[in-house]
Structure 1
Amino acid sequence: MIIPEIVAPAGNFTKLKIALAYGADAVYAGVNNFSLRSRTAREFDYESFKEAVDYTHEKGKKIYVTLNGFHLSGQVEGLKRHILKLKAMKPDAFIVASVGAMALVRELAPEIPLHISTQANVLNYLDAKVYKEMGAKRVVIARELGLKDAKILKENCDIELEAFVHGSMCFAYSGRCLISSVQSGRMSNRGSCANDCRFSYELFAKNPENGVLFRLEEDENGTHIFNSKDLNLCAYIEKIMKENCISAFKIEGRTKSEYYVALTTRTYKMAIEDVLKGEFDALRYEKEIHTLKNRGFTDGYLISRPLEKIDTQNHLTSIEEGTHQVQGLAEDGEFFKCKGKVVLNEAYEILSPLDSKITPCENELGQIYEKEGKYFVKFKKMLTQNHKEYTEIHSGNENAIKMPSLVPKFSFLRKEIV
C-alpha cells in the first residue's frame, strides 16, 4: 500500500514550523507574486525563504516551491531571475501550472523535480503522459477528478499523483474564475483573488417593458450564491488509501491560521497512521476537524461524481464558527501568547503534536492534568517574563505568559465554545 505523504501549507515561517511539528512530510510555499497566493508570499523574502528551506531539510522534510501562477510576457524575465534564485536554495520541487513556465524550469533548473499544479486541470492519463514526457515527477490532479478515474490514470501512467483532501474550494472549475478580475481588478490566476465568491449578493429582476426593478428576496441579508463549502475528506482516508493510487494528500490553506495548519496536519496524519494500524475511526477525525472555523463541509468530487453532488454550496454564510476557540499558542513550550482570552481557574485543553509527551504537574502557577485521554491546564497565576501578574489576558496583549511546566513546542490552548 502507498503511504501518502502529507503536504501542508506554509503561509509564513511560523506556519511552516508548525506544519512540520504536527506531522507534515512536506510543505509548500512561495516567494512574491509568481505563485497563486501572492498575499502570503509576501511573508517570505529570498533570505527568509532560504532559512525556511534549510530548516525544513534539517528536519528531514521536503519543501515545494509554488510557481503556479499564469504569467504575462512582461513578467518572463523576472520569472527567469526568480527561478535561478530559488534553484540555488535547492528546494525539493517546483509546482508549475503553465507549460511555458514548465519549459523554463526544465531549462534553468533541470535538477529540481517538477510537480504539475492542480491549475493545469489534469483529468486523464493522456495529459499526465504528456507532462511526464516533459519531465514531470508528480501531478496534482484536478479537484474535479474522481477516485476511480485517478486509479485509471495511475494504471496507465507511472507518475506520482497528489490530491487535495482538505481546504477551501473554488466555485469555478479549478480556479478558472474572473469575478475577482471584473469586480476589483484582482486576477485570481495571477495570485491576487479577492474571494468575491464568498460575498453576499442581492438578486434583482427587471421588467423590460416598463423598467420596473424589484428585488428577489431569499433572505433579508441577501444570499451567498457562489460560496463553496470547504473540502473535508478525513472520513474517507481509508477508502482512498485502499485504492493505492494517491502518493500525497494536500491540504489547502496558506492564508489560514496557525491553528488550522496544526489541526488539519495532525488530523490527517492521525488518520493515515490509524489506517496502517487497522484502527481507522472516522468520527474521531471529524470531531477534530469540526473544531475549526469553516464554511460548512463537503466531500467534494474525489469520492462522488459532480453530478451526484447537491451539497457543495453554502448559501447562508461565508463562515461558520467551529466547536472550539483557540486561546493561546505556546510556541517555545515554556511561555504562551494569548490568541483569545485566558482567565484564572478556567480549564483549557492543550493540543500538541502527535506522540509528544505532556507531564502532569501542579504548582503555584497552576495545574496541568489528564482527563479522558486529553490534557488540560488551569492557571492559578499568570506571570510574564518580567514577573508582571495578570488575572486575565486578551488577544492583542503581546506579553508571553509562563506555563506551569514545559509543554511541547507549538502547543495550542483551546476551549470548547458553549
Structure 2
Amino acid sequence: MKPQKKPEILSPAGNLKKLKIALEYGADAVYGGVSHFSLRNRSGKEFTFESFREGVKYTHNKGKKIYVTINGFPFNSQLKLLQSHIEKMADLNPDAFIVATPGVIKLTQKIAPHIPIHLSTQANVLNILDAEVFYEMGVRRIIAAREISLKDAISIKEALPNLELEIFIHGSMCFAFSGRCLISALQSGRVPNRGSCANDCRFDYEYYVRNPDNGVMMRLVEEEGVGTHIFNAKDLKLLEHIPMILESNAIDSLKIEGRTKSSYYAGITAYAYKMAVRDFYKGSFRQEIYEQELDTLKNRGFSDGYLIHRPYEKLNTQNHQTAISEGSYQVNAEVSEDGKFALCKFTIRPKEAKEIISPHSPSIRDCENELGRIFTKDGKKFLQFHKILLENGKELEAIHSGNENRILLPAPLPPFSFLRQKIE
C-alpha cells in the first residue's frame, strides 16, 4: 500500500527550552501545558503563562503546531478555575486542546469553538464504537490508548476516515491501563489521572507472608537474579515498526512521551524518529542508525509495547531488575541558544574529546584556536577544549556538573547542540 500522508512527529514540551530543542531537532508539533489541569504536574509548573505564550509564538513562527494539554480529571470545586484556564489558553490560539472527559469537551466547545479538540489517551479509546461517539461530539483527533493494536487502529480509520489518529511510539509505559493506576493514590495520596503520579511502580518491593493464626510475618527470599521491581515497565520503543505503521495509512501523528525527561531526550527522540520517517519515504530506512541514537538515551530497557502484540501475549514488557535509567552515552554539556557557550552537565577536562550531536552537524566547520579545536573523525564531529574558560573570564582545570557558569566555545555551534561521550 502506497503511503498517502506523512504523519507528524509530536514531541513533549516540558518547558520553553525543551520546546525549542524538540522543534530544532525535527518535531513537527509539540504538546505541553500550564497548571494542574495538564496531566504532568511537574512539567506544568515549569511553564508560566508568559513563557507558554512565548512557546506558542515561537512554535507558530517556525510554521509548526502546538497542542495544549488540559487532560486532567477535574473535581466540581475546580470547574470555575478550569473555565478560566480554558479561556486564557484559548486566547493564545494553540492548534488544539488535548482533553480527556466528555464534560471538558463540551466546556471547551462552548468557550473556544474555534480550537480543535484532541481526545487524550486517558479516555482509553480502543474500538470503533467509542471512537465514533467522540467523533460525533466534535473531537478532531483521538490519541489512542497505548494498548491498541495497529489492526484496530486501521479499522477505526476505515470506519471514520476523517478522524485523525495519534499513537504513542516512544517513552515511559504505565504499569496500569493507560494511567488508571491506584498504587500511587493508595501509597502516596497522589492521583495519576489528575497529574500527580508518584511513579510508585518504579519502587523496589519486598515480599512477605503472614500466618493469620499466630501473626508471624516472614520475608520471602527471592530467587537470585529475579529482582523486586515487580511493577516496573520497560520503556516503549516502536522504531522497528515505523515502516509498518506508515504503510498502514491509518496514523496521523506519532507521539513521544516525556515532558519531565531531559532536554537531550527531547532532542534525540525527535531527531531519530524524524530521520526514520524521512528516510522511509525516501526508500532508505536504516534502522540501525536510529537505534544507535535512541540507545544513547537513559532508559529502563525497551519493549515494543502492544501495537503489534496483544498485552496478554507479551512476556518482555517488565524490568524486574532495576528502575534506574541507563544509556550508552553521557551528556557532558548543552550548547546555548546563541551557540557561543556550553553549560556543563557532566565533568569536562581539557584534552578530552567530546562528540558534538546536532541536527545541523554537517554545517559545523573544523577549526582550532587557543580555546580548543573542532575536528571530524569517522564522519562525526568532536570538540576538544585546550582550556576551560568561563564567560566571566575565570579559567578552570576542569568543570563539573552543578557549576552554572557558561563555558566559552572555540567557535559557535548550532543552537542547542550537545557534547557527549560514550560510556565505556
Give your verdict on TM over 0.5.
yes
Q: Give the counterpart letter for 1:17 in structure 2.
A: K
TM-superposed deviation, 1:391: 2.1
2:410 — aligned with what?
Answer: 404
One of 217, 223, 230 as aligned partner of 2:228: 223
SS of residue paired to 2:363: coil
Does structure 2 conserve the Cα–Cα contact (< 8 Å) formed by 1:236 and 1:282? no
| 1:343 paired residue among 327, 343, 349 | 349
Secondary structure of the 1:127 match is helix
Measured against aligned partners, the alpha-carbon deviations of 1:193-228 in whole angstroms (never above 9, x if no partner) come to: 000000011110112233222111226896011010
1:293–1:231 Cα change, 3 Å: same
Question: Which of 13, 18, 21 is the matching residue for 2:21?
Answer: 18
1:270-309 to 2 correspondences below 5 Å: 270-309=275-314
| 1:124 correspondence with 2:121 | no
Q: Is the 8 A contact 2:98 2:119 kept in 1?
A: yes
Cα deviations by residue, 1:317-358 (Å, 9 ceiling, x for unpaired): 002320000000012211101000101111100010257611
Counterpart contact for 1:165–1:249, Cα < 8 Å = yes
Instruction: Report how far residue 55 of structure 1 moved.
Output: 1.1
Query: More displaced, 52-61 or 164-173?
Result: 52-61
Which of the residues 215, 239, 254 maps onto 1:211? 215
Give the match for residue 75 of structure 2.
Answer: 72
Tell me if structure 2 keeps the 8 A contact 1:330–1:412. Answer: yes
- Aligned AA (2:40): R
Aligned 8 A contact 1:235 1:285 in 2 = no
Question: Which moves more between the two structures, 317-326 or 353-362?
Answer: 353-362
Distance 1:359 1:101 in 2: 52
Uncovered stretches (5+) of structure 2, i.e. residues with no partner:
none
Partner of 1:374: 380
Aligned to 1:333: 339
Matched, 1:258 2:263: yes
> Once structures 1 and 2 are overlaid, which stretch shifts more, 385-394 or 8-17?
385-394
Q: CA deviation at 1:134?
A: 0.9
1:269 aligns with 2:257: no
Q: TM-score, normalised by structure 1?
A: 0.98
Helix, strand or coil for the counterpart of 1:32?
Answer: coil
| Unaligned runs of at least 5 residues, structure 1 | none
Aligned-partner residue type, residue 147 of structure 2: E
1:185-196 counterparts in 2 under 5 A? Answer: 185-196=189-200
Corresponding letter in the other structure for 1:108: I
Q: Is the Cα–Cα contact under 8 Å of residues 365 and 381 in structure 1 kept in the other structure?
A: yes
The separation in 2 between residues aligned to 1:212 and 1:152, in whole angstroms, is 55
Q: Which AA in structure 1 matches 2:317?
A: T
Which string of whole-angstrom CA distances, capped at 9 and with x for unpartnered residues, describes residues 31-50 of structure 1?
A: 10002101210111212211
Cα distance, 1:58 vs structure 2: 0.9
3-state DSSP class of the match of 2:167?
A: strand
Could you say what secondary structure the match of 1:82 adopts? helix
1:354 and 1:228, CA in 2 relative to 1: closer, same or farther beyond 3 A? farther
Q: Which amino acid aligns with 1:372?
A: D
| Distance in 2 separating the partners of 1:296 and 1:244 | 29
What is the distance in 1 between the residues matched to 2:38 and 2:216?
46
1:356 touches 1:408 (CA, 8 Å); kept in 2?
no
Q: Is the 8 A contact 1:32 1:41 kept in 2?
A: yes
How many residues are treated as equivalent by the alignment?
418
The answer to whether the 8 Å contact 2:70/2:99 transfers is: yes
Partner SS, residue 89 of structure 1 = coil
Aligned partners of 1:23 and 1:354 also within 8 Å: no
Q: Over aligned residues, Cα RMSD in angstroms?
A: 1.3
In structure 1, the residue matched to 2:204 is 200
Task: For residue 371 of structure 1, report the CA deviation from its aligned partner.
Answer: 1.5
Q: 2:247 aligns with which of 220, 239, 242?
A: 242
Taking a change above 3 Å as real, the CA distance of residues 213 and 299 of structure 1, as seen in their structure-2 partners, is same
- Between the aligned partners of 2:25 and 2:362, the Cα distance in structure 1 is 10
Q: How has the CA–CA distance of structure 1 residues 396 and 114 changed in structure 2, closer, same or farther, with 3 Å as cutoff?
A: same
- CA distance in 2: counterparts of 1:91 and 1:388, whole angstroms: 44
SS at 1:34 equivalent: coil
Question: For the residues of structure 1 that align with 2:204 and 2:94, how far apart are their CA atoms?
Answer: 40
Q: Residue deviations 1:255-282, cap 9 Å, x none?
A: 0001111111100011011101111111
Match of 2:31 in 1: 28
User: 1:386/1:212 Cα in 2 relative to 1: closer, same or farther (>3 Å)?
Assistant: closer
Distance 1:248 1:380 in 2: 45
In the other structure, the counterpart of 2:173 is 169
Contact 1:202 1:222 in 2 (8 A): no
Tell me the SS of whatever aligns to 2:74: coil
Question: Residues of 2 paired with 1:413 and 1:231: CA distance?
Answer: 26
- Distance in structure 1 (CA, Å) of the matches to 2:313 and 2:280: 27
CA distance in 2, matches of 1:302, 1:396: 41
Residues 360 and 414, structure 2, Cα contact 8 Å, conserved in 1? no
Question: In the alignment, is residue 92 of structure 1 matched against residue 95 of structure 2?
Answer: yes
Q: Does 1:105 align with 2:113?
A: no
Contact 2:165 2:253 in 1 (8 A): yes
User: Would the alpha carbon gap of residues 40 and 380 (structure 1) be closer, same or farther in structure 2, given more than 3 Å must change?
Assistant: same
Distance in 2 (CA, whole Å) between partners of 1:406 and 1:368 is 10
Please give the secondary structure, in 2, of the residue aligned with 1:378. Answer: strand
Aligned partner of residue 95 in structure 1, secondary structure: strand
Aligned to 1:81: 84
Aligned counterpart, 1:393: 399
Q: Which runs of 4+ in 1 moved over 4 A?
A: 219-222
Residue type of the partner of 2:37?
F
